[in-house]
Structure 1
Amino acid sequence: MNLKIGVYMVMAVTLIAGGSLLVAKGKDAVSQAENRKQGTLEAEQKIMLYDKSPGTIVQVNKAMGEAVQKGELLFKVKSAGGTEEDVLAPETGQMSKIVVKPGDQITQGMPVAMIQKSAYYTDLYVQESEIQKLAINQGVKVHFPYLDHPDQVHGVVASVAAAPQFANLRMTRERGQADLSMLLVRISVDASPDLLPGMTAEVNLDDLAD
């Protein structure tokens, strides 16, 4: 019995020591989870505002969901003076919304459509203690863990907020357990046929060089 108790004590001491070492190195499960930052993949949207003479929509060249190229003809407008104005796509992307139709009267400043750009991004909140791992224009690996075949694409740090966005309150209020300041980091992501807005994007800070 005494031998069995002794074995249990040795095992307990070993586990505690090993766990303490992992925590000190930041390799425990909690630390690893905190270093995996997740956000939602978003697509940039461009609202098109009509900037020419007032007139009437006489032609709509695109439908919702269709791809467009920058400079491509989207609408024709007949002005009050009888001349026709061409409305061209300001960005390459996809028509995500069209708010006018032939026969509509439009004036300068009215929205006519929305284009979903081909560029994606994700916003992540990073602890102040980890922010030094990231720099503007730094390349990062962005994972998409919930795809049928988990994908990884190249991303770039586009911006880091100058001021903390919020404080992530700790579970205890013991001395030395200060609140963690979180900063907003935007990662630009290369477009890929497998990616869609709304997907979960993940960046593992442990993959970055210290």
Structure 2
Amino acid sequence: MKIKAGFYIGIAVVIIVGGLLLAMKGKDAVSQAESRKQGVLEAEQTTLFYEKSPGRIVKISVAAGDSVKQGDVLLKVKSADEGEMDVLAPDDGVINRMAVKVGEQLAQGMAVASLQKKTYYTDFYIQESEIDKLKVNQSVDVHFPYLAREVQIDGVVTSIAAAPQFANLRMSREKGQADLSMFLVRIAMESNADLLPGMTAEVRLDEFAD
């Protein structure tokens, strides 16, 4: 009888200890998930506007898909007032679209092209309890966990929302628990041969000191 009682006690101890270990592991997993924030990598886009004297396009030097450097000639415009003028690329990047064609008349303020810059960014939603870990102009490591080999890029915090963007409703509504206020944080980085817009980017808040 004593042996049977000891047997059942032993099983109970194993179950309790196993449950505690699973609970601890579960808490670790939740903590790890909460410290890792993911967003989608985006490329900065800009529309190029014609700002010079009205004139007629006499030459276009680039097409959609072409890479350009800052200062490259995109097109030439002949103006009655100023003669032949060059329209230059304001930044390094790739031409997404040309909105004009040779022979077209240009007026100030007309869109002539769209440019995908060589700068990427990603937006993260950071909860109120963690937002004090980040400051504008702070350097951060940005990870790309789903590539065949993990890539890490140096990023910079460019903006932090002045007010919460939304409240994330907790699943449990226990006394003392409040909804989580989430702040939008933008992190910029230079383009990299390993990266493409649409990839998953990740920051790990546990890498930052409190």
Structure 1 residue 7 displacement after superposition: 2.2
Q: How many residues align?
A: 207
Q: Is the 8 A contact 1:19 1:28 kept in 2?
A: no
Structure 1 residue 125 displacement after superposition: 0.1
2:7 aligned partner: 4
Structure 1 residue 209 displacement after superposition: 2.0
The question of 1:157 aligning with 2:166 is answered no
- For residues 87 and 179 of structure 1, the distance between their equivalents in structure 2, rounded to whole angstroms, comes to 52
User: Which amino acid is 1:207 matched to?
Assistant: E
Distance 1:12-1:190 versus aligned 2 partners, 3 A rule? farther
Structure 1 residue 16 displacement after superposition: 4.5
The question of 1:13 aligning with 2:16 is answered yes
What's the % identity of the aligned pairs?
57
Structure 1 residue 15 displacement after superposition: 3.9
CA RMSD of aligned residues (A): 1.9
- For residues 110 and 198 of structure 1, the distance between their equivalents in structure 2, rounded to whole angstroms, comes to 30
1:49 aligned partner: 49
Structure 1 residue 89 displacement after superposition: 0.9
User: Which amino acid is 2:110 matched to?
Assistant: M
1:138 aligned partner: 138
User: Greater Rg, structure 1 or structure 2?
Assistant: 2
Structure 1 residue 22 displacement after superposition: 6.2
**Superimposed CA distance per residue, residues 181-201 of structure 1 (whole angstroms, 9 cap, x where no aligned partner):** 000111112321111111110
Structure 1 residue 3 displacement after superposition: 2.8
**Superimposed CA distance per residue, residues 165-210 of structure 1 (whole angstroms, 9 cap, x where no aligned partner):** 0000011333212100000111112321111111110111112222
The 5 Å alignment of 1:47-126 reads 47-81=47-81, 83-126=83-126
> Secondary structure at 1:28's aligned position in 2?
helix
Which TM-score applies when normalising by structure 1? 0.90
Deviates more, 1:105-114 or 1:13-22: 13-22
**Superimposed CA distance per residue, residues 59-83 of structure 1 (whole angstroms, 9 cap, x where no aligned partner):** 1111112111111111101224582
The question of 1:33 aligning with 2:36 is answered no
Structure 1 residue 155 displacement after superposition: 1.2
Q: Which runs of 5+ in 1 are unaligned?
A: none
Structure 1 residue 37 displacement after superposition: 0.5
1:148 aligned partner: 148
Q: Which runs of 5+ in 2 are unaligned?
A: none
Runs (4+) of structure 1 exceeding 6 A deviation are none
**Superimposed CA distance per residue, residues 13-72 of structure 1 (whole angstroms, 9 cap, x where no aligned partner):** 33454466667xxx5212211211000111111211101112211111111121111111
1:197 aligned partner: 197
**Superimposed CA distance per residue, residues 91-141 of structure 1 (whole angstroms, 9 cap, x where no aligned partner):** 111112211111122211010011111111110000000112212222211
